[in-house]
């Protein structure tokens, strides 16, 4: 069964935050607590948590006792404070495997790395109960020669429906816990390429701003300067190529909020090119170029989605502990628009 997580509010098309993929717990042992192994203590208290999942969480440091990392055989004492971060269990076990083509970049016994096409929803949700990457992965994994009931892959992060690029999926409960901890700690490296409107002033910079649901449209995210609203979000960017009316940039995520790059870039006045939801279809006038409006409309026809691609994903392998670094080429629509723009401005 594939692990996934519906949005907290099923009336929305997008999940609120990647952090929804994690469960947070805090337990305080009773004054009369008898000595008990930590792994047994947690298995008894966390619904649907297997002993293996708990032990792996303890092993990778997802479980703290009195703010200290301990081992599974730690004996719980009265008044001990136990904090836990574990991957969320599935909300609904009824998922259908579907024979949908996907591009697999890398696969081994622990994980599978997919280069997702733009237009594919990652997991089931409002108005998207089938045809998703989750459905495709269920079919793919069930057909593997080594498939068994113990092979339980799971999502550890997300990318938007109309964003292309790399997404990492665990194939076992053990790998899921290890990879989820890396995402939660922000130690996994994620780099995106984005085409944004306008000439970005600085060659590099950092956007910091809390992100939450937009007050006018809850399908979108917005940046709030009030620190009491939303969740902390940080995006580092670097200019790759300038075209005058738009800029190709690289974005490195320090946090993983829903629509983070799209919301942060709009916040600093550089909405993603062709991003309809965030105003990226508004053609900015530019007197320097003749027939500019028709040229841009033609670009929109080639790339009818936000110009955002998850290009790089690097992480520590959950079993070998080796650093793994993967890159994906820009898809055809993105590269075609860049070629067209380069020709137009030359």
pLDDT at 152: 54
Same domain, 221 and 142: no
In a domain, 210, yes or no: yes
Q: What is the average pLDDT score of the chain?
A: 87
Same domain, 104 and 199: no
In a domain, 95, yes or no: yes
pLDDT above 80: residue 8? no
**Domain total of the chain:** 3
Q: Which residue has the higher pLDDT, 18 or 299?
A: 299
pLDDT at 312: 98
Same domain, 129 and 218: no
pLDDT at 242: 97
In a domain, 263, yes or no: yes
Same domain, 263 and 323: yes
State the residue range of the domain holding 104: 91-186
Residue 175, CA distances (Å) to 59, 119, 317, 324 in order? 12, 27, 8, 14
Same domain, 142 and 41: no
Same domain, 82 and 105: no
CATH number of the domain within which 69 lies: 3.10.290.10
pLDDT digits 0-9 by tens, 139-194: 898 887 665 665 555 888 889 999 999 999 998 878 888 898 898 888 999 999 99
Same domain, 301 and 322: yes
Same domain, 336 and 230: yes
Which range, of 75-89, 296-310, 326-340, averages the lowest pLDDT? Answer: 75-89
Same domain, 218 and 283: yes
In a domain, 8, yes or no: no
In a domain, 1, yes or no: no
Same domain, 114 and 202: no
pLDDT digits 0-9 by tens, 104-147: 999 999 999 999 999 999 887 666 678 899 889 988 988 876 65
In a domain, 270, yes or no: yes
In DSSP terms, 173 is beta-bridged to none
Of 186, 220, 238, the residue at which a domain comes to its end is: 186
pLDDT at 260: 96
pLDDT above 50: residue 7? no
pLDDT digits 0-9 by tens, 191-240: 999 999 999 999 999 999 999 999 999 889 999 989 899 999 999 999 99
CATH number of the domain within which 103 lies: 3.30.2350.10
Same domain, 140 and 215: no
In a domain, 9, yes or no: no
Which range, of 66-80, 281-295, 305-319, averages the lowest pLDDT? Answer: 281-295
In a domain, 56, yes or no: yes
DSSP per residue over 132-170, as a string? SHHHHHHHHHHTSTT--TT---EE-----TT-EEEEEEE
Of 186, 201, 229, the residue at which a domain comes to its end is: 186
pLDDT at 3: 37
pLDDT at 285: 67
The pLDDT of 336-342, averaged and rounded, is: 97
**What phi, psi does 300 have (nearest 5°)?**
-65, -35
Measure the CA–CA gap between 98 and 123, rounded to whole angstroms: 13
pLDDT digits 0-9 by tens, 240-267: 999 999 999 999 999 989 999 999 999 9
Tell me if 4 sits within 8 A of 123, measured CB to CB: yes
Whether this prediction's pTM lies above 0.85 is answered by no
Tell me if 345 sits within 8 A of 244, measured CB to CB: yes
Region for residue 314 given its phi and psi (left: phi exceeds 0; alpha: psi -120 to 50; beta: otherwise): beta
Q: Which sequence positions are flagged as catalytic?
A: 160
Nearest to 177 by CA among 80, 84, 75, 68: 84
């Amino acid at each position: 069964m594939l692990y996934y997580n519906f949005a907290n509010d099923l009336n929305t098309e997008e999940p609120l935050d990647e952090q929804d993929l994690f469960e947070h717990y805090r337990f305080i042992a009773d004054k009369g607590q008898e000595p008990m192994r930590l792994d047994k203590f947690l298995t008894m208290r966390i619904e649907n948590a297997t002993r293996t999942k708990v032990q792996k969480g303890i092993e990778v440091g997802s479980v703290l006792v009195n703010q200290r990392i301990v081992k599974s055989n730690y004996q719980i004492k009265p008044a001990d404070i136990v904090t836990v971060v574990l991957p969320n269990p599935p909300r609904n076990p009824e998922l259908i495997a579907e024979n949908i083509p996907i591009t697999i970049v890398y696969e081994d016994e622990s994980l599978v790395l997919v280069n997702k096409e733009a237009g594919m929803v990652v997991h089931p949700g409002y108005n998207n109960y089938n045809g998703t990457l989750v459905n495709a992965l269920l079919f793919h994994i069930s057909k593997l020669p080594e498939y068994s009931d113990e092979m339980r892959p799971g999502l550890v992060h997300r990318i938007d429906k109309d964003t292309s690029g790399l997404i990492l999926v665990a194939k076992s409960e053990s790998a899921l816990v290890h990879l989820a901890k890396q995402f939660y700690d922000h130690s996994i490296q994620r780099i995106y390429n984005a085409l944004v409107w306008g000439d970005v002033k600085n060659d590099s910079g950092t956007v910091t701003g809390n992100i939450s649901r937009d007050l006018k449209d809850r399908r979108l995210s917005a940046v709030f300067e009030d620190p009491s609203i939303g969740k902390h979000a940080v995006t580092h960017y670097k200019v790759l190529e300038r075209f005058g009316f738009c800029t190709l940039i690289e974005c490195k995520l320090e946090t993983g909020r829903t629509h983070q790059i799209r919301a942060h870039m709009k916040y600093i006045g550089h909405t993603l090119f062709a991003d309809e939801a965030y105003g990226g279809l508004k053609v900015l006038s530019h007197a320097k170029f003749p027939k500019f409006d028709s040229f841009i409309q033609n670009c929109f026809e080639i790339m009818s989605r936000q110009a955002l691609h998850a290009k790089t994903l690097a992480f520590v392998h959950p079993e070998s502990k080796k650093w793994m670094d993967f890159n994906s080429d820009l898809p055809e629509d993105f590269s075609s628009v860049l070629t067209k723009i380069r020709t137009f401005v030359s």
